[in-house]
Amino acid sequence: MPDYTIPAASTVVDSALFRDAFGTRAMRDIFSDGALVQRYIDVEIALAKAEARAGVIPAEAAQTIARESRIDRIDFEQMREETDIVGYPILPLVHQLVRMCGEAGRYVHWGATTQDIMDTAVALQVRDGLDIIDADIRALRRILADLAKAHRDTPMAGRTHLQQALPVTFGYKVAIWLAMFDRHQQRLAELRPRIALVQFAGAAGTLASLGDHGFAVQRALAEELGLGVPATTWHVARDGLAEAVNLLALITGSLGKIALDIMIMASTEFGEVYEPFVKGRGASSTMPQKRNPISSELMLAASKAVRQHAGLMLDAMVQDFERATGPWHAEWIAVPESFILTAGALHQARFALGGLIVDAPRMAHNLGISRGLIVAEAVMMQMAPHIGRQQAHDIVYDACRTVNEAGGTLAEALLALPAVTRHFDRAAIERMVDPANYLGLAPQMVDRALALSAQVDDRLGNQRGAGPGFDAGNMPLTS
């Protein structure tokens, strides 16, 4: 028999060992069993209030239901046993709420179906989860903006196909990361009104059990919970939740890209950046010299897991008729884990990037290891007006071969060619082969990225008051 005094969680999102590596307390709290059941109760109470407002049930009954339906009175063991039998938690919950509310209990869950309560509760969880993601992305963007600004002019080797290509700046690299999260911030704002929607439509989605009161109750329920009203039921139209999880996959995908860059740049042979130093973090059990990029590794792992859940959510969109069989259940796995993993990855990113150690001298050293070949294009383009582009290409190509085969630097090889010295003296050649003089518009792109990022904040800040049911143009999405 297992020893139940030892922690028994079996997944990383709940594990006593790994939960803070792969998630955060705040996001776990939103998707915990207790929080979920509380959301079920919130929806049942809001439904009673909405039906009282619409004249469907007595106001006194709604008041009693609101007063007596308390999570501290729930027998969770009994609810677990009944859920295992029924397959869903709502009927077991309703049984207990009916007993709590006495005579008013007859009006609990009036006109609703199980999926109405569960879907609306999930919409509330997702809304709250997106609030955390939104705040984390805003904080990460501030970190990235500061980092890009600080290293606007810090030259380093730009790499394509893992080979040195042309000089860039570290600030330029970070500005690319920043722009990704500017877009994610905008995507999140655009998503909200499509996902923060009430679900109340009855057994087959037609609100038949409430007759002419159906729309009135639906709208009142949405108002009670601060949600929007959908045009039709979304019992089997799961694009909203699928979009939410796929947005999380985009967010963690961007974090995975950043993590991969950091891990490669932190390798011994590169040595250009390091995650913040914390005594013992990233240590090896056998190699004392090791300083592993732990946060980046966790970010990359989360990106892979959420990407799989995004695919699961797309698969779960294929649902049968007016109420699905199994696809709905797959969401119960994918939605909580995706939110928790995304929150964990963002937490790791804020730590790693917030204290990132940037070794500018090492970047400069690495920029010079090609002995000037990284700026061969620059030399060719500056020679072209004097001798023609093709001839300039051929001369520089031969000079590069000389460096690769005989050693020395590109400057030395060029100085040995009369076709070059006829037009350029030593000082001019030294300027041409200085990587810092061939950064293109990288610093200016940093400036532009920072300005556009600030505009995103201004624009989204002005839209925060729109509330559920409105898009970025403040146009109603409700029916």
Counting beta carbons within 10 angstroms of the beta carbon of residue 468, is it exposed (0 to 12), middle (13 to 18) or buried (19 or more)? buried
Selection from 181, 173, 168, 304 nearest residue 254 by Cα: 181
* Residue 284 annotated among the catalytic residues of the structure: yes
Distance of CA 216 to the CA centre of its chain: 36
For 320-354, b where at least 16 C-beta lie within 10 A, e where not — what string?
eeebbeebbebbeebbbbbbbbbbbbbbbbbbbbe
Q: How far apart are CA 315 and CA 296, in angstroms?
A: 29
Of residues 32, 151, 161, 386, which has the active-site annotation? 161
**What's the CA gap between 241 and 248, in Å, rounded?**
11
In whole angstroms, give the CA distance from residue 296 to residue 349. 7
Q: Are 298 and 256 in contact (CB under 8 A)?
A: no
109 catalytic residue (yes or no)? no
Query: Residue 94, Cβ neighbours under 10 Å: how many?
Result: 18
The catalytic position among 267, 284, 329, 479 is 284
Catalytically active residues are: 161, 284
